[in-house]
Amino acid sequence: MSKVSALIETEALKKYYPITGGILRRRVGEVRAVDGVSLNIPKKKCFGLVGESGCGKTTFAKTMIRLLKPNSGHIYFDVPEDIKEEIAKLEQSKNSPKLKKLRAQYDLATFRGKKLKSMRRKMQIVYQDPTRSLNPRMLVKDIVGEPLIVQKLAKGTERRKKTLEILGKVGLTEKHMYRYPHEFSGGQRQRIAIARALVTNPEFVVLDEPTSSVDVSVRSQLLNLFQDLRKELGLTYLFISHDLSIVECIADQVAVMYLGKIVELAETTELYKNPLHPYSLALFSSIPIPDPAVKRKRIELKGEVPSPVNPPTGCRFHPRCSEVMELCRKEEPELIDMGNGHFVACHLFHK
């Protein structure tokens, strides 16, 4: 991974959901939503995460900002390289007490209580559906002002001023403050959600399919807003989407996820021009192009996405892969560096 300063980095992050069954509700299996994802998101960049439903991208993002507790792995938020290296070394040598201390201090995966709460100021999330992510019984000014109260950042007039300020940045005015969410259009509601996310001056914002629930014309307005805000406030984004054409325009780097694992990662232009993994190839080829004159060769994938409860052995994509080899059924491929910041997890590219 490149050594450009990462704002947030995960190492082998895993999130499993237990499945209980039987009378005594014992654990009979688990849903491996996120199964060992290591990602490095550089400061002030927009990182795109794509994949289809069930691949784990939302679970990963929520685990990354500790809305969910990871089962294992590390999350480093703005932690210097040498500390990360030291933790890695300590893990090798299994030095327990010092490891525990360091992790408690630097590894977001282990934070609890007050420490975790203070971190929340710096990481925020904007959800897909603004109708569901805003409390229908709260006024806009309370929705947007609540983070300031909870994080004890501002009181009274100061809070009112900050609320107004952030609403102004997303294009809303004072008269919008005293209304309920249902009185607004979809695009405006999403702006309210964005204002709520930005009011604490975070450094990192997860955008979970923020434009999927709104109209095409509103979409562009919101995307422009995201870009302007990023430049103005120096934010770092994790942009999750299943709409590949939007990600192409807004992200600097893109990672493709399949069944809880990253299968390919590269800079945007590189990835869209030259996808290597068979899944990425199929994915990109299935985007309909709004130009009837262009006829593209389409790769139609057979079958359905398998369930993350019992993922296929070896490479998870092998049952649907047109280039499947014997090795693919047995061994899981690691992410290989193809140069130029382009990584693929596929046995086809084993040197």
Partner 1 sequence: MDVKSKLHEFRLGMQPSIDELKFIATRIKSSPLSIVGAAIVIFFIILALAAPWIAIPGHPSQGGNPYMMPKFGILATPQPPGSTVKDNYARFGTTAWQYDIYYGCIWGSRSAFHVGIMVVIPSLLIGLALGTLAGYYGGYLDELLMRFTDIIIAFPSLILCMAFIVVLVPMGIERLDAVMLAFVIVGWPSYARIIRGEALRIKNEDYIEAAKSIGCSDFRVILKHILPNSIYPVVIMASLDIGTIVLGVAALTFLGLGAPEGWADWGQLIAYSRNFIYGKPTDPYCYWYTFIIPGLFISLFTLGWNLLGDAFRDILDPTIRRK
Partner 2 sequence: MSKNLLTIEDVILRFYTYEGIVEALDKLNLKIKDGETLGVVGETGCGKTVTGLSTLVLVPPPGKIEGGHILFDKKGKTVDLLSQDEAFLRDIRGEDISMVFQDPRSALNPVYTVREQISEVFLHHRRREFIEQVLKCPLTGFERKIYEKMLENPESFTLKVISKIPIINRYKRKLKDEISSEVIRVLKEMQIPDPERVVDMYPHELSGGMAQRVVIAIALACNPKLLIADEPTTNLDVTIQLQILNLIRELKRKFGSTIEYITHDLGVVAEMCDRVAVMYAGNIVEIADVMELFKNPLHPYTKALLESIPRPGKEFKSIEGTVPSLINPPKGCRFHERCPYAMEICTKEKPVLKEITKKHSIQCHLY
State in angstroms the smallest separation of the CB of 287 from partner 1.
28
- Please pick, from the candidates 75, 177, 192, 247, the single residue that binds partner 1 as defined by CB under 8 A: 177
* Candidate list 2, 92, 136, 300; residue touching partner 2; CB under 8 A: 300
Contact between residue 34 and residue 56 where contact means Cβ atoms under 8 Å apart: yes
In the complex, the smallest distance separating the C-beta of residue 332 from partner 2, rounded to whole angstroms, is 22
For β-strands 261-267 and 6-21, DSSP reports them as: unpaired
Could you say which of 36, 43, 52, 103 contacts partner 2 (CB under 8 A)?
52
Residue 124 vs 268, nearer CB to partner 2:
268
Measured distance CA(186)–CA(172) in Å, rounded: 13
Task: For partner 1, give the closer residue by CB, 32 or 141.
Answer: 141
Rounded Cα distance between 257 and 105, Å, is 30
Helix and strand numbers (H, E) in the chain are 13, 11
Q: How many residues bind partner 2 (CB under 8 A)?
A: 41
Three-state secondary structure call for residue 137: coil
Binding to partner 2 by residue 305, rule CB under 8 A? yes
Q: How many residues bind partner 1 (CB under 8 A)?
A: 33
Footprint of partner 2 on residues 2-31 (CB under 8 A)? none
Largest CA distance in the chain: 67
Both structure tokens of 132: 């569901």
Residues numbered 183-202 forming contacts with partner 2, rule: CB under 8 A: 185-187
Binding status of residue 282 toward partner 2 by CB under 8 A:
yes
Counting contacts by CB under 8 A, is residue 27 touching partner 1? no
Between CA 75 and CA 12 the distance in angstroms is: 9
Whole-angstrom Cα distance, residue 200 to residue 95? 38
Q: Which is nearer to partner 2, 93 or 217 (CB)?
A: 217
Question: Contact with partner 1 (CB under 8 A): which of 40, 63, 133, 241?
Answer: 133
Listed residue (301, 327, 306) closest to 316, CA to CA: 306
135 binds partner 1 (CB under 8 A): yes
Among 171-179, 252-260, 271-279, 315-323, the segment contacting partner 1 (CB under 8 A):
171-179
Among 286, 278, 260, smallest CA distance to 320 is for: 278
Q: Considering the complex, state which of residue 123 and residue 259 has its C-beta at the smaller distance from partner 2.
A: 259
DSSP 107: B
- Helix H, strand E, coil C: the string for 113-132 is HHHHHHHHCCEEEECCCHHH
Part in contact with partner 2 (CB under 8 A); list of ranges 86-94, 124-132, 265-273, 322-330: 265-273
* Residue 210 makes contact with partner 1 by CB under 8 A: no
The rounded Cα 302 to chain-centroid distance in angstroms is 27
Q: Which does 329 bind (CB under 5 to 8 A by kind): partner 2, partner 1, none?
A: none
Q: What are the C-alpha distances in Å from 220 to residues 41, 151, 216, 242?
A: 24, 32, 7, 16
Type of residue at 67: L
The answer to whether residue 215 forms part of the interface with partner 2 (CB under 8 A) is yes
**272 scored as a contact of partner 1 (CB under 8 A):** no
Residues that bind partner 1 (CB under 8 A): 62, 65, 67, 117, 120-121, 124-125, 127, 129, 132-139, 141, 146-147, 150-151, 157, 177-180, 182-183, 193, 196, 200
